[in-house]
Amino acid sequence: MASSKVRTPFIMLKSIHAALGTNLYCPGLLVAVLAAGSLSALTPSPSSRLGHDEIEGTIRWDARSAEHLLNRAGFGASSEEIAGTVEAGLEATVKKLIERAKEGDLPFFAQRLSPRDGLMREERMEAKSMEMDAATFKEDNFEMIKELRDRDGEQLDRFLNWWVTRMRRGDNPLGERMTLFWHGWFTSSYRDVKSSFEMIEQNKVFRTYGLGKFRELVVGIAKDPAMLEYLDNDSNRRKRPNENFARELMELFTLGEGNYTEQDVKEAARAFTGWRDKHGKFEFVERLHDRRKKTVLGQTGKFGGEEVIGILLEQEACSRYLAKRMIGYFEGVEPNEGRLEDYARFLMATEYDIAQVLEKLFLDPEFYRDEVVGTRIAGPLDFLVGSTRRLMIEPPARAIRLGSAALGQRLLDPPNVRGWEGGEAWVTTGTLMMRSNLVGSYLGLVDTREELSDRDRAMRALRRANWGPNLNFSALLERADIVRDAEIVEYMLESLFAVPPTAESRAVAMNFLESVRAEAGLGDGELLDAGEDSELWLRRLAHIVLSLPEANLN
């Protein structure tokens, strides 16, 4: 069979084998097409290889389910990465994703640069000792604050580019996914914290504890300087308790609304008194701490913050809240009661081991059911990072994150303490068009100088970088002998959509190729014979495909 199918483009197999339910996999061909791009970290070693269409348990492990896993656990994948993942098998892939994420990465090195980081104190002392007059000091002070703010903003930009680059490269897909997940859960905003150092350190907390025990993560966040600032625990004192952190800790971080009383909030707040941010370091100030008895959720004692966190995590409500939100995030729909109960119990039994619950979820046949696969509206980062991964292009990280911000997802600046709302709210008429135009600019099709206003910051970033994509669709297709309209359209739809295309979308793509061919006087099968024009048509086709409704689902 293999020899007779040698000219069949492997990318098309995804739909064909899905339709026929047969194993049409052909490794020799894979190698040929893979030569066009680099191998991802996920590409398996030969020994771990399982049959392409092998069914593990009740999960049908094929390109569609593999792509689903890579979309949700990471930020999407190219066709070749998907093929490699299918080959590796489900269990090996999940294991690898988790192991890689637990292994972690070298952290971003951040400096204290903000006026909030305590840098001004020495200067103030110096000014005082020099007996500088008030007006001069004020002027100096103002200049210095401004300079520090600028430098702090630059460090923030560098960090964000680093982060987005990591999402785009996909060396540690699940690690980056979980970092974003926890950033949306334990939100803090640079706008309020005003210190890039603290925001970067908080990000490190997600990276360090994000796949470990939830308790360590919650404690880490409760002591995290950025969080201490963001939710005002820094000013939570024995004599004037500030309940902001205690409330959100219960409402959004652990229990969910309705599972505690106002009195619980007040009592818990007292347990966190004296937890402060000392210029980017956690500090416990004994004299500001309320050492008296507290009663939280029925338990009484002279609790400190960590003990309260312990009490919260003992609650069944906490395990249910975590299960519901995690499954809701990864599946896009909330779990039914049976699964919720199952996952909540599992969390309790494993002492909230995040890696174990992720493993359970990714190996759960329910995770791969039709209601879940390809039915979630992709957020801005999922859409932009995912599209560039599927296209195998790497536009400047800055253009991706500014594009994402324009679409409503600005990293380290969530809209409020609840994080990003997600779902349908991501897409408005204006942002739907903007998504298309951003992808068009990444494809080098939208003239960033002429066609859109220079007030668009993502476009400006591309222009400054002299951006043009390193793409050669025509050579890629030629090599794989994908030459007829129907095959080319199938290739594009398969490699750029996470869901099967609708009839309308296929028709639009077909019409486009037919019309450009007709105009150039070429027959079906000759589309790749027009040199530069061919490449331009193929890029335009990719642009059209990524602008269709299905491109916004994953």
Partner 1 sequence: MRHPIHRRTLLRGALGLAGLSLSQRLSLGALISEDELADAGTLVILQLSGGNDGLSTVIPFADDAYAAARRSTRFAQDEVLGLDDYLGLHPELQHIRSEFESGRAAIVQGVGYSNPNRSHFKSMDIWHSASPDGRAVKSGWVGRLSEALSTTGYNPERVVHIGGSLPYSLHSKSSPAVSFVQPDNYRWVGNEPEMNDVADQLGSDSNSESSGGAIGHLRGVMRDAAASSRRIRSAAAQYETHVDYPGGELARSLRTAAALIKSELGCRVVSLEQTGFDTHQGQRVVHTRLMSQLDAALRAFQADLAGSAAGRKTVILAFSEFGRRIVENGSNGTDHGTAGPMFLLGPSVSGGLHGAHPSLTDRDGDDLIFHTDFRSVYATVIEKHFGVDSAGVLGGSYAQLPLLG
Can you give the binding site for partner 1, defined by CB under 8 A?
Answer: 375-377, 406, 408, 415-418, 421, 424-425, 427-433, 436-437, 440, 445-446, 451-453, 455-456, 499, 502, 504-505, 507-508, 511-512, 540, 543-544, 547-550, 552-553
Nearer to partner 1, 33 or 452 (CB): 452
Q: Is 396 helix (H, G, I), strand (E, B) or coil?
A: coil
Nearer to partner 1, 202 or 552 (CB): 552
Minimum gap (Å) between residue 329 Cβ and partner 1? 15
Nearer to partner 1, 289 or 376 (CB): 376
To which residue do tokens 């995590």 refer?
313
Nearer to partner 1, 35 or 507 (CB): 507
Nearer to partner 1, 474 or 552 (CB): 552
Minimum gap (Å) between residue 144 Cβ and partner 1? 15
Nearer to partner 1, 154 or 451 (CB): 451
Nearer to partner 1, 357 or 417 (CB): 417
Distances from the Cα of 449 to the Cα of 252, 294, 444, 463, angstroms: 44, 63, 12, 7
Minimum gap (Å) between residue 409 Cβ and partner 1? 10
Nearer to partner 1, 105 or 451 (CB): 451
Minimum gap (Å) between residue 5 Cβ and partner 1? 33
Nearer to partner 1, 167 or 513 (CB): 513
Q: What DSSP state is assigned to residue 186? A: S
Cα gap 234→21, rounded to integer Å: 60
Minimum gap (Å) between residue 134 Cβ and partner 1? 14
Cα gap 457→439, rounded to integer Å: 14
Query: Are 327 and 339 contacting, i.e. CB atoms less than 8 angstroms apart?
Result: yes
To which residue do tokens 């040199």 refer?
531
Beta bridge partners of 296: 299
Minimum gap (Å) between residue 512 Cβ and partner 1? 6
The string over 444-469, giving b where at least 16 C-beta atoms fall within 10 Å of a residue's C-beta and e elsewhere, is bbbebeeebeeebebbbbbbeeebeb
Minimum gap (Å) between residue 550 Cβ and partner 1? 7
Minimum gap (Å) between residue 376 Cβ and partner 1? 7
Give ∠ CA 408-410-413 in degrees, rounded to 5.
Answer: 115
Q: Is 128 exposed, middle or buried (0-12, 13-18, 19+ CB in 10 A)?
A: exposed
Count of CB atoms situated within 10 Å of the CB of 511: 13
Count of CB atoms situated within 10 Å of the CB of 222: 23
Distances from the Cα of 554 to the Cα of 67, 119, 381, 431, 472, angstroms: 9, 45, 12, 17, 25
Minimum gap (Å) between residue 262 Cβ and partner 1? 12
- Strand ranges for 165-279 from DSSP E: 275-278
Minimum gap (Å) between residue 117 Cβ and partner 1? 18
Cα gap 152→172, rounded to integer Å: 27
Cα gap 407→426, rounded to integer Å: 7
Distances from the Cα of 486 to the Cα of 269, 387, 523, 525, 527, angstroms: 64, 22, 13, 9, 11
59's enclosing H/E stretch is strand 59-60
Return the sign of the alpha-carbon dihedral for residues 311, 316, 317, 318: positive
Nearer to partner 1, 113 or 438 (CB): 438
Nearer to partner 1, 208 or 547 (CB): 547
First to last CA, the chain: 33
Minimum gap (Å) between residue 55 Cβ and partner 1? 27
Which amino acid is it at 290?
A: D
Nearer to partner 1, 149 or 484 (CB): 149
Minimum gap (Å) between residue 39 Cβ and partner 1? 32
Cα gap 548→459, rounded to integer Å: 21
Nearer to partner 1, 212 or 415 (CB): 415
Residue 77 main-chain phi, psi, to 5 deg: -155, 155
Cα gap 244→266, rounded to integer Å: 10
Minimum gap (Å) between residue 205 Cβ and partner 1? 23
Minimum gap (Å) between residue 391 Cβ and partner 1? 15
Nearer to partner 1, 416 or 466 (CB): 416
Beta bridge partners of 377: 553
Distance, CA of 11 to chain centre: 26
To which residue do tokens 């066009």 refer?
36
